[in-house]
Amino acid sequence: MFAPGAGRILAVSAAVLALVAGLVAVGTIHDRIAASGGLLAGAAVWAFFAVFFRDPERPIGSGIVSAADGRIRAVERDGDRWRISVFMSVTDVHVNRWPTDVVVDSIRQEGAGFRAAYRPDAAGNVRRHYTLSTELGPVEVVQITGVVARRLVSFVHPGARGRKGERFGMIVLGSRVDVLLPAGRVEPSVAVGDRVRAGASSIARVRP
Give DSSP secondary structure letters for 168-208.
EEEEET-EEEEEEEETTTEEE---TT-EE-TTTSEEEEE--
The interaxial angle of helices 32-52 and 6-26, nearest 10 deg, is 160
47, 165 in Cβ contact below 8 A?
no
Identify whether 175 is a catalytic site residue. yes
Distance, in Å, from the CA atom of 46 to the CA atom of 17, rounded to the nearest integer, reads 9
C-alpha dihedral sign at 62, 65, 71, 72 = negative
Q: Of residues 66, 85, 175, 201, which has the active-site annotation?
A: 175
End-to-end CA distance of the chain: 38
Distance, in Å, from the CA atom of 170 to the CA atom of 88, rounded to the nearest integer, reads 11
The 8-class DSSP code of residue 123 comes to G
Residues annotated as catalytic are 175
